[in-house]
């Protein structure tokens, strides 16, 4: 069977991990190019050792590579800001784009929930890692009991959070919040995500869906959390409505 050639933009932890998984596990995908902007990055050096064509000249370098013509799908594992430029360039060349940043250009896609709905989308928005881990649970619970409010608490190791992740905390929060409402329960009015980076690898990933009793919060989807821009305002507005169920994280 002929495999589909793909490229990955972003030589950090996420891009490098995806490259290794494709090469070791995929029966349908084949690495065609690995793209970064730092020629000294560990990811690019590892890709070169594994025999993957590389470039350290970003999206322009990818387009200039002879392998680019055979690439059908491009995974973007950079940042929300960079993805807007990357998507514009790739769409002009007719490439299918899988967005692994919180840029949220394409439709929100959670495979267990709506994976078959966007097979023809030119840009597939994979939300965030926190969203992928928890929105299926929100969706499953909502099928048997009405979900009025969902809160995600995500903890990751600081060593696993690269500069792109740290620069996108607000986008990460907002994109996850919107996806809770649109994919977890489409008529839900409130979805909150509280990312809490840890300093050790012991609590690498910890996700919880917290039920909240009391009056249903008013207003559209909000964002919150210790690292969100509007966390204090959100807590102040929601606490009286939910009987104190929403509290600031210590």
pLDDT tens column, 122-137: 999 999 988 999 999 9
Is 183 one of the annotated active-site residues of the chain?
no
Mean predicted confidence (pLDDT) in 163-177: 84
**25 alpha-carbon distance from chain centroid:** 21
Question: 160 versus 117: which is more confidently predicted?
Answer: 117
Q: Which of 129, 181, 221, 235 is catalytic?
A: 129
Is a pLDDT exceeding 70 seen at residue 171?
yes
pLDDT at 186: 52
**Residue 169 banded pLDDT, cuts 50, 70, 90:** confident
Residue 73 pairs in a beta bridge with: 6, 96
pTM for this model (two decimals): 0.75
Mean predicted confidence (pLDDT) in 83-111: 97
Mean predicted confidence (pLDDT) in 160-171: 81
Rounded alpha-carbon distances, angstroms, from residue 13 to 22, 44, 119, 126, 204: 14, 11, 27, 17, 14
Is a pLDDT exceeding 70 seen at residue 151?
yes
Q: How far apart are CA 2 and CA 87, in angstroms?
A: 26
8 A C-beta contact, residue 114 and residue 183:
yes
pLDDT at 117: 93
Mean predicted confidence (pLDDT) in 42-53: 98
pLDDT in tens, 174-210: 898 889 888 886 544 444 444 554 444 344 333 344 4
DSSP string, the chain: -PPEEEEEE--SHHHHHHHHHHHHH-SSEEEEEEE-S-TT-HHHHHHHHTT--EESSHHHHHHHSGGGGG--EEEE-S-HHHHHHHHHHHHHTT-EEEE-STT--S-B--HHHHTTTTTT-SEEE---HHHHHHHHHHHHHHHHS---EEEEEE--BGGG--HHHHHTHHHHHHHHHHHIIIII-TT--EEEEEE--BSSSTTS----B----SSPPPSS----STTSTTHHHHHHHHTTTTTT-S----
From the number of C-beta atoms within 10 Å of its C-beta (0-12, 13-18, 19+), residue 76 rates as buried
**Residue 56 banded pLDDT, cuts 50, 70, 90:** very high
pLDDT in tens, 68-91: 999 999 999 999 999 999 999 999
Question: 87 versus 167: which is more confidently predicted?
Answer: 87
């Amino acid at each position: 069977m002929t495999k589909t050639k793909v490229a990955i933009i972003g030589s950090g932890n996420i891009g490098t991990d995806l490259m290794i998984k494709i090469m070791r596990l995929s029966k349908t995908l084949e690495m065609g190019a690995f793209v970064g902007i730092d020629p000294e990055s560990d990811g690019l050096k590892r890709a070169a050792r594994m025999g993957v064509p590389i470039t350290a000249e970003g999206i322009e370098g990818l387009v200039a590579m002879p392998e680019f013509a055979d690439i059908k799908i491009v995974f973007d594992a950079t940042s929300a800001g960079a993805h807007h430029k990357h998507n514009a360039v790739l769409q002009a060349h007719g490439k299918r784009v899988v967005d692994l940043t919180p840029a949220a250009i394409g439709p929100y896609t959670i495979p267990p929930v709506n994976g078959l709905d966007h097979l023809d989308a030119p840009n597939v928005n994979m939300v965030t890692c926190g969203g992928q881990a928890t929105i299926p649970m929100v969706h499953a619970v909502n099928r048997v009991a009405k979900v009025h409010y969902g809160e995600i608490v995500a903890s990751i190791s600081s060593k696993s959070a690269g500069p792109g992740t740290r620069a996108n905390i607000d986008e990460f929060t907002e994109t996850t919040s919107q996806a809770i409402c649109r994919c977890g329960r489409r008529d839900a009015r409130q979805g909150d995500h509280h990312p809490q980076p840890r300093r050790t690898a012991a609590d690498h990933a910890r996700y919880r869906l917290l039920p909240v009793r009391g009056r249903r919060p008013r207003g559209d989807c909000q964002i919150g959390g210790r690292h969100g821009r509007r966390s204090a305002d959100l807590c102040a507005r929601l606490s009286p409505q939910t009987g104190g169920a929403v509290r600031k994280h210590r």
